[in-house]
Amino acid sequence: MILAPLIVLVPFAAAVAGLAVGRNRIAAARIAVAGAGITLAVTITTAVAVWAGEPVLDVWATVPTGWLPITVATRADGLGVTLAVMVATVAFAVQVYSTSYMRPEPRYGSFAALVSLFTTAMLLVVLADDLIVLLVGWEVMGVCSALLIGQHWERPEARAAAVKAFVVTRLGDVGMLAGILVLADQGGSFRISALQASATASPALSTGLVLLLCGVAGKSAQVPLHVWLPDAMVGPTPVSALIHAATMVAAGVFLVARLHTVFLLSAAALAVLAVIAAVTMVLAALAALAQDDYKRVLAWSTSSQLAYMLGALAVGGYSAGLFHLLSHAAFKALLFLGAGAIAHAVGTTLLSGMGGLRRSMPLTFLVSSLGLAALAALPPLSGFFSKESVLSAAEEAAVHGGPLPPWAAWLVLLAGLLTVLLTAAYATRAWLLAFAGPTRSAAAVAHDPPRAMRIAVVLLAVPTAVLGLLAFAPSLVARMLDPGVSVAADPPGPTIDVLPALLSLLLVGTGALVTCAQWLRRGGRDPALALGDVAPLLTAGLGVDRIYDAVFVRPSRALSRLVVAGDRDVVHAYVRGTGRVVRAFGAVPHAAQAGRVQQYVTAALAFVVVLAAVGAGASR
């Protein structure tokens, strides 16, 4: 039974109802959890029907524009419904978790409603078959994420982070909109299925795809538009989990996957994507090495892991990239909710304020260890199999050729291997500082989270542990991720080659052992101290924010001050001066029309006297 419209409508109805109940916390919680639960049930039902049957495209309305019509259509294929299940699962876990985590929050009702609306927008993106409809969901996600990041708007840093996230992602969306218009002009339609069927290689197509990558870089926090994501960690932890694990940041990856058959027609666009992915995965992993805030470690990790997915798509590893997206969604949501449990118990997300939590928070220790191990790609967890499938796809393209130039494939492969080493290092460091070592005073009174929060983390621990089994069923993965495009054969499932896997395991072990050695050598202190003077630079994200501030922000502010000064001292001065001159010239007739009768009589008599004097002088 195909229920694609309900997948979008149910969370939207929950959002409207949640806003209607206002500050009634109990009613808002029931509506939010029930809406997320029904959405998950409907999504799974639809997904099973699609996996067992055929993709379904439904057209619901056509909006004339005077150029190309906008088609309101849903596309329930393997790719769409699989990602919809991922979104619905994470959203349900977040809503359940938030009922406890956000208990003291006076604005919980609006928060829960915004999460429901956020879920609606994410589901609309993965199910849309029209680029404009997808763009609507894309922009609603951007608005909701900014509002949720700024949930604690009374804090200046929350307001600044919300504005930064909104502005930076909108910069990318300007290029994305231009790319959509170029692609629509080339294909004669905004319909994604029509574009996939009619696209042909051309310079215009490459231009449109590169412009589209601007939006991908903004939403998926890739270089050079990655700077908003770490600052967004000032938002509530459930928001961080939703943004990082569901489709918000993964929307860019999804868009490339949805148009993958079109991207395969442009080696230039794939090369650009490969460079962006390679630079981002290394830069973000380096930045994660020295962060003191646990959530910022995870944030930089997200940018790096998304780069893995985009790198896989660039080298032609469609199933590998999406397999890593699914596995990343599970373990990253688990890690963020685990970080929220620590913050709930200890009162901080700073690694320097943790330590010894394995004793006081055994469940949180277990699930966080599971998530960090999956992030570091330790077998047999899901992260190992999905990351190895990405590296295998990169090796295949580098050695045997692929849809992009060989140098770009080698760049992705080498950057991916280096990032494996860095990821193991920062994941091990975070684990040691949070859970090992002596118990600090704050950690001594810590405890595992309440029941609702425990249910959510256990729910996400299951796919983190078992999702890797899909690597042994590549045909099933290919079926689950089938894009439903008739112009191309079904994509092969993910594969894992022995050589990259062994090299990856060697790098994981090296990164973990070096970090442990530094930790032991320093008596349980931060291993990042070994980085010396480089650590502050890595903490600042290699100073990219400062560069942007010097190159863009300050000149823009100086220009704006110059414009204001010109308006005030030149344009406005001219306007005011003109008014003063006119007023001065008008002062004389104004005096004659002032309504002062005595002055009029005096002036008249004076005038008569003057005339009489003049006349008397003339008569002589």
Q: Which residue has the higher pLDDT, 573 or 89?
A: 89
The region of weakest confidence among 237-251, 319-333, 524-538 is 237-251
Are 15 and 114 spatial neighbours (Cβ–Cβ below 8 Å)? yes
At 606 the pLDDT is: 83
Q: Quote the radius of gyration of the chain (alpha carbons, Å).
A: 31
At 294 the pLDDT is: 92
Mean pLDDT of the 132-159 span: 90
At 2 the pLDDT is: 56
Handedness of CA 573, 578, 581, 586 (dihedral sign): negative
Q: What is the share, in percent, of the chain residues with pLDDT greater than 70?
A: 95
Mean pLDDT of the 530-548 span: 85
Distance from C-alpha of 107 to C-alpha of 110, rounded to nearest angstrom:
6
Secondary structure (DSSP) of 200-257: ---HHHHHHHHHHHHHHHHHTT-TTS-THHHHGGGS-HHHHHHHHHSHHHHHHHHHHH
Please name the residue that has the structure tokens 């199933």: 319
HSE, side-chain direction, 13 A CA sphere, residue 199? 28
Distance from C-alpha of 381 to C-alpha of 535, rounded to nearest angstrom:
30
DSSP reduced 3-state for 538: helix
Residue 476 sits at the vertex; the CA angle it makes with 197 and 417, to the nearest 5 degrees, is 85
Write out the two tokens for 38. 């029904």
At 354 the pLDDT is: 85
Q: What is the share, in percent, of the chain residues with pLDDT greater than 90?
A: 40
pLDDT band (50, 70, 90) for residue 440: low
pLDDT digits (tens, 9 = 90+) for 59-113: 888 888 888 899 998 888 889 999 999 999 989 989 998 888 887 788 888 899 9
Are 374 and 328 spatial neighbours (Cβ–Cβ below 8 Å)? no
CA terminus-to-terminus distance, the chain: 121
Spatial CA neighbour of 172 closest among 206, 211, 137: 211
At 304 the pLDDT is: 94
At 348 the pLDDT is: 83
Q: Which residue has the higher pLDDT, 564 or 266?
A: 266
Are 190 and 130 spatial neighbours (Cβ–Cβ below 8 Å)? yes
Distance from C-alpha of 345 to C-alpha of 361, rounded to nearest angstrom:
9
Q: Which residue has the higher pLDDT, 499 or 246?
A: 499
Distance from C-alpha of 463 to C-alpha of 604, rounded to nearest angstrom:
103
Residue 545 sits at the vertex; the CA angle it makes with 539 and 549, to the nearest 5 degrees, is 145
At 451 the pLDDT is: 84
At 487 the pLDDT is: 41
The region of weakest confidence among 14-18, 339-343, 544-548 is 544-548
At 473 the pLDDT is: 81
pLDDT band (50, 70, 90) for residue 437: confident
At 493 the pLDDT is: 65
- Residue 152, Cβ neighbours under 10 Å: how many? 15
The region of weakest confidence among 87-96, 358-367, 385-394, 436-445 is 436-445
pLDDT digits (tens, 9 = 90+) for 165-208: 999 999 999 999 999 999 999 888 999 988 988 888 899 999 99
Mean pLDDT of the 336-351 span: 86
At 117 the pLDDT is: 94
Are 353 and 437 spatial neighbours (Cβ–Cβ below 8 Å)? no
